[in-house]
Chain A
Amino acid sequence: MVRAEFPLVLGQPTTQDRRHMTYLLPVANDRIGDEQGAFADTVQKWAEREVMARRQTLREDYDKLLRPALGGLLQELGLQGHLWPESAGGDGETPRSASMTLALALEQVGRADTGIGFVAASGLAVAATIVDGADEVRAAELAGSFMGGEATLVAPVLGCLESRDDGLLLPDGRSLQATARRDGEQIVLDGKDVRPLCCGLDARLYAVLCRLEGGVGLLLVPGESAGIRRGEQTLQTGLAACRNAPVTFSDVRVPAGLLAVEGDAVYGALRTWLCLGLSAVCSGALLATCEILEDWAESRVIKGRGQRFVDNPLVAEVMAGVVQRTTLTRMAVRDLARTLTVTDQPGQSLLTALTVAHHAATTADEGLGRTMELMGSAGYATEWNLERYWRDIKTLHGHLGSEVLDRLEIARHCFGHGQGGARP
């Protein structure tokens, strides 16, 4: 069933409509089903009620706002169970059929708080990779690691700058931070001061992409396992909802059944799902930027008494540029989500996903930067919340990876860079 969530043609918005910038930035949502749209609506209402309405007083307080909100989103709202089989208590959505739902939901989470979106996207990327690569029985076996009695913060461990191979993150394991080996019915994991993508300090579950006897595996490691040492919290520019820390795995032993996925394809799949989620979060940050800008500009006058801010052509041009960036990013994110609904192997879309994700992060950075320029001191004061998105997006982009070095990966696939001209 086709669901027109938002009008596809610009009309005259009502006062009520104007509260949601989504009305003013229509994108083709004709492939969104009723259930998918309803889920995104639910997330939107939750985000406005539980996060946006409370952040003015609670700011970036992890214990009072961000951690409870993560709990509400993942567990009470059920986002962490969305992709797991119904037989294991999940919603039974397959990642591919749910890719658009996830994009819409994460956009709304990102609109409320980029950091919460970042944590949610990371956990969902791991879940999507596992569910997409396993049959239902196997997925149901692993679901328990993600869906206990409390919200599960998942800390994915992939590559990092130092583990890149001449700038590239290679799918064959050479670019990973941790190593595993089999020992009877157990897998033994080692890695010193590895940098998880997020939640290194608080994770209930580490999802470690590791070198495994000449190959690659995605190993689930419960946070309470013996041999895990969490370092001091990393102080970073933004993403306050994501309390990260370096983690050392010393001879950590887990049952072999927690080796969730094996093979080179897992690397591409995990990064691809991650790119989709993070792109959607960036899209949400841009939506929030448009809303803040609209609110702020409404009452401003410049050049003396009388001229409305938005009536100044220079200001209007910059404002429109922010809207353009938002609209194009939303379109790109939806297109990536749709691509993933039809692809055989999500990892085969990695180049597209990387392109969209870097575009989304760069565009959000630009859109926020230009909005700050218009808002002047209000842009960098915490009072208006804009600077928080600006810091968060820069931090998110750092975790996504170096755009310059990721372009080498794209060049490798498209032009045979580093392969003597041969395309992999």
Chain B
Amino acid sequence: MTMFRSIDELTRPLEYVSPMDELLGGMVRRWAEEHVIPHRRGFDEDWREHRRIEPALERLLGQLGLQRVMFPEEYGGWGLGHSGHFAVGCARLVEEIARADSGVAVAVGVTFWPMILICREPHVNHRLCRELAPMFCGTTRARLAANAMTEPQGGADIENLDLLRGSTLNTTAVRDGDEWVINGHKLWPTNTGGASALFAVVCTTRPGSTDPDDFAVIFVPADAPGVTQGAPYQKAGMAADKNSDLWFEDVRVPLWYRALGPGDDFTYFKEVISIGNMGSIAMVSGVLMNVYEVLQRFASEVKVGGRPLKENDAAAGVLADLVADLEVIRITCYQYARMIDRPDLYGPPWSDEIVARGRALKYSACDRALKSLGRAVNLMETHGVDRVWDVEKHWRDLKIIQLWMGGKQLCQMETARWYYQCETL
């Protein structure tokens, strides 16, 4: 039996991986190989009910406890939020999960995502951490969270912070005594359609305002009166990522459920964008890692003209391109994560510079990966589009990674704005 090269032989900058890299990464890999990879082919048909998907999430988030990872130790968490290896640690986790299923990776990643605002140094909101930690740290049942950004009137406008500064937000938060009263309609948040226990709602305290003080992120429990979730959307892939409409109708939460307060919500939401892009690159890397594993087996087993496919020079060129792209994307992923972890060297992760670098690296990684994976799918002929090999699933999912968070065009504009100092884009 042929022994193939391990994915652990792929390049990674070992000088700055997290001290808990092997502990956490190994745990997730074992979970993925037992609870996801053998079952993932059935996930597509499970997009509405999540009967097959939920057990995997229960195991990872609830029983193994990964949903505690962001919260400070004093509230029952694992303290990753204040670790100097936060981003590289997240990169490894997300990469490992995406290797098995990037839809599961986004469901897990988005659960951590809004917690960045309240769990990360130097802007930890201890009162909110203490309030929300029991939901995630005091249970062995899986708990998901959602970052409710996108609205019907303009898909990428909310993430376009540099230009629009929250001025297009139609979801409003009005102060009424000691409470916020929230009204609005969101589309597409990951972990909606009934999946989430908690929403971080991006909204405005003064519609049309470009003042950063009016940009707010407010946490809303999913069971608060006035919250309605729609039925899940059917998509081209990523069945584990459940999305739906989300309505807020006179939803009341305490004033202190606002993430950080006037001005700070806006500032640190850019960090959420940076880390979202880092996580996206990690997903691309994880996807290609698994494709590389599949291709090693496929190109060795399938004989063309009596020789393994990989021994045909033309085919080998396609195979080489994919792994070459994977190497570059993986190095990019860890390098960008390290930049987020070292603000002393690279500047704060909420700076326009780090946001722009993340946009550039994310769309470049997606473009590269889609091109090389698309060619590999075609090289496999009918096997490439046959669900048995799982490569087509990764191809579908990868396209979705490319398109979220404002898609390619917003990435291009934010890149051009910073690198070329554009003033009117």
B-binding residues in A (CB < 8 A): 160-162, 164-168, 195, 234-238, 300-305, 314-315, 318, 365, 369, 372-374, 376-383, 387, 390-391, 394-395, 397-399, 401-405, 407-408
Q: With a CB–CB cut-off of 8 A, which chain A residues contact B404? A: 376-377
Q: How far is the CB of A370 from chain B (nearest CB, A)?
A: 9
Contacts of B335 in A (CB 8 A): none
For residue B382, which residues in chain A have a CB less than 8 angstroms away from its CB? 160-161, 195, 234, 236, 398-399
Neighbour of B302 across the interface among A161, A236, A379, A397, CB < 8 A:
A161
Given contacts A303-B163, A376-B155, is CB(A394)–CB(B392) below 8 Å?
A: yes
User: Quick one: which of B352-410 are within 8 Å of A by CB?
Assistant: 370, 374-375, 377-388, 392, 395-396, 399-400, 402-404, 406-409
Asked if A167 and B314 make an inter-chain contact with CB atoms under 8 angstroms apart, the answer reads yes
From residue B155, how far is it (CB to closest CB) to chain A in Å?
5
* Given A380-B399, A381-B233; A405-B157 close (CB under 8 Å): no
- Interchain residue pairs with CB less than 8 A apart (17): A162-B303, A167-B314, A234-B386, A237-B387, A238-B385, A300-B154, A301-B153, A369-B399, A376-B403, A379-B403, A387-B235, A391-B236, A394-B395, A398-B378, A402-B378, A404-B315, A408-B314
A333–B377 alpha-carbon span in the complex (Å): 24
Candidates B153, B233, B312, B412; contact of A167 at CB < 8 Å = B312
Report the 10 A-B pairs with minimum CB-CB distance, sorted nearest first: A166-B305, A387-B236, A398-B385, A237-B385, A235-B387, A380-B236, A161-B381, A395-B385, A382-B234, A237-B392
Contact across chains for A167 and B156 when beta carbons are under 8 A apart: no
Shortest A169–chain B CB gap in Å is 11
> Which residue of A302, A383, A398, A407 contacts B233 across the interface (Cβ within 8 Å)?
A383
CA distance A374 to B155 in the complex (A): 10
Measured between alpha carbons, how far is A397 from B399 in the docked complex, in Å? 17
Number of inter-chain CB pairs below 8 Å: 156
In the bound complex, do residue B157 and residue A237 qualify as a contact, i.e. CB atoms below 8 Å apart? no
Give the bracket for the number of chain B residues in contact with chain A.
35 or more
Roughly how many angstroms separate A37 CA and B386 CA in the complex, as a whole number? 37
Would you call B350 an interface residue if the criterion is a C-beta within 8 Å of the partner chain's C-beta atoms?
no
| Interface of A (DSSP majority class) | helix
Q: Which of B129-158 contact A (CB under 8 A)?
A: 150, 153-157
Q: Which one of A304, A382, A383, A402 lies within 8 Å of B381 (CB-CB)?
A: A402
**Which B residues are CB-close (under 8 A) to A373?**
402-403, 407-409
Does the CB pair A161–B386 fall under 8 Å?
no
A162-B302, A369-B370, A391-B396 are known; give 9 further A-B pairs, CB within 8 A. A234-B382, A302-B157, A303-B154, A304-B154, A315-B409, A391-B236, A399-B382, A399-B385, A404-B318
Whether, in the assembled complex, B304 has its beta carbon less than 8 Å from a beta carbon of chain A, the answer is yes
A165 to B380, CA, bound (A): 15
A372 to B188, CA, bound (A): 16
Q: How far is the CA of A407 from the CA of B378 in the complex (A)?
A: 13
Whether the Cβ atoms of B399 and A314 lie closer than 8 Å is: no
Closest residue of chain A to B383 (Cβ to Cβ) is A161
Q: Does B30 contact A (CB under 8 A)?
A: no
- Across the interface, do A398 and B375 meet the contact criterion of CB distance under 8 Å? no
Determine the residue in chain B with the shortest Cβ distance to A366: B374
Nearest Cβ in chain A — how far from B403, in angstroms? Answer: 5
Q: Which residues of B contact A168 (CB under 8 A)?
A: 305
Give CA–CA (A53, B338) in the complex, Å. Answer: 52
Give the distance in Å from the alpha carbon of A401 to the alpha carbon of B382 in the complex.
8
Q: Which residue of A lies closest to B379 (CB)?
A: A402
Whose C-beta in chain B lies nearest to the C-beta of A361? B378
Residue among B157, B236, B409 having the largest count of chain A Cβ atoms under 10 Å = B236
CB distance from A113 to the nearest CB of B (A): 16
